Every structure is written in structure tokens, then in C-alpha cells.
Homo-oligomer: A and B are copies of this chain.
Amino acid sequence: MGIIVQKFGGTSVGTVERILNVANRVIQEKENGNDVVVVVSAMGKSTDHLVELAGQITSKPNKREMDMLLTTGEQVTISLLSMALQEKGYQAISFTGWQAGIETEASHGNARITNINTDQILKELAEEKIVVVAGFQGVSDENQITTLGRGGSDTTAVALAAALKADKCDIYTDVTGVYTTDPRYVKGARKLETISYDEMLELANLGAGVLHPRAVEFAKNYNVLLEVRSSMENERGTIIGEESNMEENLIVRGIAFEDQVTRVSVLGLPNELPTLSTIFSRLANHGINVDIIIQNTTSVNKTSISFSIKTSDLDDTNTILKQLKADLNYERIEVESGLAKVSIVGSGMVSNPGVAAEMFAVLAGQGVEVKMVSTSEIKVSTVIAQEQMVPAVDVLHSTFELSKEVTRI
């Protein structure tokens, strides 16, 4: 018997019927003899509705007031879930972020958790109550209501699990776990039993989208054992934990991919130091997320820079680069859209330098031109033509034998 933190996202609590279903999942864990803390998001589309209301009033809502507005969404869910638990005969109590002792920086829209005062939650758990906490929100030391930004409810759950020294943090979502690759595209995609924090981080960053990277980082830092599992199906999900607990006999654990990628090349730049920071700080200030960056000194005193962006950011990027023309003194810009990124991820790569080479060989054998490459200790990312994306993922999935069941050691 220990403490289990369960997190249910917006889709899982999207209707009253689903909230009643969530109550059953919570009760099941309570009946297993655990103390249960549940973290929930706002119901389905309710946040969108609130954003729309604000949008009818102003195009630039004050961030503090936006936090005030949006945090009502989770507050509705916690009260309804508590009522559902009570209706089913269990003691339950709901807490907003400030009531749950979730203290954050004094910034709005994207605050970081600074401390969690667990006194109140522990008191209620000691009285055998199920504690239901609003995700995504906290309170600053000036009594301001704050929000944690994207992936906020995941972060709330993991942070609470860390502070409460919970045995486990279960992230309930609309998929049944973390897969070797997206099962909608690759027939042989297999659910992983376990994965390491670092591998999950690479998969999450690369578009697997199951769990917010920030929450994974938090879990890694505080060594919180996570499980990603389905709120609809009653089956085991994927455990995310330390390397040492993991399946170790596989070099590549998963393949992430995303389309709608564009490569932008700025050619014929004078070879001066500030150029890189000028371009990328300006792009960042406009909210444009640059992914892979390659710099090439092609001739004496001339440099070229290529970087990949989301195709939806191309217009803004072009505008900014044109504004910088005089400052940067570049010769020309080349743009290639219709690209995709395919990455192989696995902790085993660190000690297997041949993996990248094998990946390139396989892609070449399929006639796939690799346009950009980026590597880290546990992943290799390539940018290729979008129409080759799914076949490439498919062949890589076979090559690295990801469909095979892994025998636990």
C-alpha cells in the first residue's frame, strides 16, 4: 500500500459519462489498497470555449486575467469528479491549485512550480479520502492564480507524485501506451512495455505527443515512475523509468516522425559571428520554433545556414528574413517545403556508433535522399521528402526489428 497519482486529460473527462467512467478507474485503484490522488484537466472543449469568449473581447488578453479565466475549467472537473466518487459511495475532496499547495513563480501563462506544500493533501489521505486536484494551475506567493502552460496537467501530476513520494504516477490518455512508432501508419507498431525517461523525451519532442516533455523531465529529475495507459481500455500501458530497469537488448526503441516540414537555407552570408544569433533570436521572438540547424562554410568568408521549421511558419519566416536582408547581407534564400522528419530513438545508440550509418544505408537502399541530419546520444533525425516518410518509417521499423516482442531479462 502506497500513494498512487492518477492523471486524466481533457478527452478522458470530456463528458459527464466519461467522468463517471474515470471515477470507476479511480475507485479500482483505491480498492487495490492505495491512497489515491487524482489530477484532472478541463473537460474536453471547455478551454476552447473560454478562449473564444476572451477572444470576443480582446485580441490580446492580459495573461493574469487569462489564467483567472482558464483555471475555472479544471475547477469544474474536480468538483464533478468528486461528486461522482461520492455518489458511488467513496469519500472524496477536491482542491484547486492554491488549495492543494501548488506554489509557482509569479508569472502568468507558463509558470514553473517552485514548491508543493503537501500538508492538506496528506491530511485528507490519512482520513481515507480520495483527493482530486485541479491540474495546470497553481498560486504565486502573492496569491495570484497562475497556470503552468502546455502539458500543465501532466506536470502537476508528476510534481505531486514527486512531492508525495508516490509509488507511481499513472498518466491516463486516449492511447494505450507508448508505441515503437505511430500504429496508424505502421502495421507492425508495437506497444513498449518500458522505456527510459531519455528515450521518452526524444520521442515526445519528436512528435509522439503522448506525454509532455516537461513532465518527463520533471519525472526524470525526481525519479518518478510513470505509466502511460488508456483511460478507456483496461490494459497495462508503458512504464517510463530509469535506464537500469529497462529492456536493454534493443538499440533502437522507437521511430518518431512528422510531416509539414520546410527547410530554409540562407546562402552567401558574410562569415561573421553574430549572424546565427541574429537570425534565431529574431525567429524565436516571433514564436517560430526552429528544429534542425546546419551551418556550412562553403567558401572563404562565406557561410550558408539551413534550418527546418514547420511549414505553417514559413510565411512569417520569410517576412523576418526579408527584414533582416540589409543587416545580414546574405545573397539569397532557398526554401524547400513538402519535407518530413524521421528519427530513430534508443538509449543503446550511445555505445553503438554504427546505428546512424545503418539508418542511412537503409534509406539509400530505398532511394530516399537525406536532406538534413541531426544526432544526439540517443537519436538520429533525418529530413526527407514527405511522400517517402511512411515507407521510410516502415522499412526502418523492420530493419531494427521493432515489431518483435522483447523478452524481459
How many of A's residues come within 8 Å of B, CB to CB? Answer: 36
Q: When the two chains form the complex, which single residue of B20, B57, B143 contacts A83, counting CB atoms closer than 8 Å?
A: B57
* Residue of A56, A79, A94, A145 with highest tally of chain B CB at under 10 A: A79
Known: A58-B86, A72-B72. A65 touches B79 (CB 8 A): yes
What's the Cα separation between A16 and B99 when bound, in Å?
Answer: 30
* Residue of A66, A69, A76, A83 with highest tally of chain B CB at under 10 A: A83
Contact A58 B78 (CB under 8 A): no
Q: How many copies does the complex hold?
A: 2
> Smallest CB–CB gap between A94 and chain B, Å?
5
- Bits for A74-98, please: 1 = Cβ < 8 Å to B, else 0: 0110111011101100000110101
Which B residues lie within 8 Å of A96 (CB)? 68, 145
Q: When the two chains form the complex, which single residue of B56, B58, B99 contacts A143, counting CB atoms closer than 8 Å?
A: B99
Contact B19 A57 (CB under 8 A): yes
What's the Cα separation between A65 and B93 when bound, in Å?
Answer: 8
* Residue of A19, A86, A120 with highest tally of chain B CB at under 10 A: A86
A62 an interface residue at 8 Å Cβ cutoff?
A: yes
A53 an interface residue at 8 Å Cβ cutoff?
A: yes
Contact A69 B65 (CB under 8 A): no
What's the Cα separation between A240 and B343 when bound, in Å?
Answer: 73
A54 an interface residue at 8 Å Cβ cutoff?
A: yes
What's the Cα separation between A292 and B50 when bound, in Å?
Answer: 47
What's the Cα separation between A336 and B83 when bound, in Å?
Answer: 41
Contact A16 B79 (CB under 8 A): no
A61 an interface residue at 8 Å Cβ cutoff?
A: yes
Contact B82 A62 (CB under 8 A): yes
Known: A72-B76, A75-B72, A76-B69. A83 touches B64 (CB 8 A): no
Contact B57 A84 (CB under 8 A): yes
Contact A76 B50 (CB under 8 A): yes
Which B residues lie within 8 Å of A75 (CB)? 68-69, 71-72, 75
Contact A83 B99 (CB under 8 A): no
What's the Cα separation between A80 and B68 when bound, in Å?
Answer: 9
Known: A68-B75, A93-B64. A16 touches B56 (CB 8 A): yes
* Residue of A68, A120, A143 with highest tally of chain B CB at under 10 A: A68
Which B residues lie within 8 Å of A84 (CB)? 57-58
> Smallest CB–CB gap between A405 and chain B, Å?
42
> Smallest CB–CB gap between A368 and chain B, Å?
50
Known: A65-B79, A75-B72, A143-B99. A16 touches B53 (CB 8 A): yes
> Smallest CB–CB gap between A326 and chain B, Å?
35
> Smallest CB–CB gap between A242 and chain B, Å?
37
Q: When the two chains form the complex, which single residue of B58, B61, B80 contacts A57, counting CB atoms closer than 8 Å?
A: B80
> Smallest CB–CB gap between A135 and chain B, Å?
15
Contact A82 B65 (CB under 8 A): yes
Which B residues lie within 8 Å of A68 (CB)? 75, 78-79, 82, 94, 96
- Bits for A282-294, please: 1 = Cβ < 8 Å to B, else 0: 0000000000000
What's the Cα separation between A50 and B46 when bound, in Å?
Answer: 12
Give the 4 A-B residue pairs with the shortest CB-CB distance, closest first: A72-B72, A69-B79, A68-B79, A58-B87
- List 25 A–B pairs whose Cβ atoms lie within 8 Å, in order of A's numbering: A16-B53, A16-B56, A16-B57, A20-B57, A50-B76, A53-B80, A54-B79, A57-B80, A57-B83, A57-B84, A57-B87, A58-B83, A58-B87, A61-B83, A62-B83, A64-B93, A65-B79, A66-B79, A66-B83, A68-B75, A69-B76, A69-B79, A72-B75, A75-B75, A96-B145
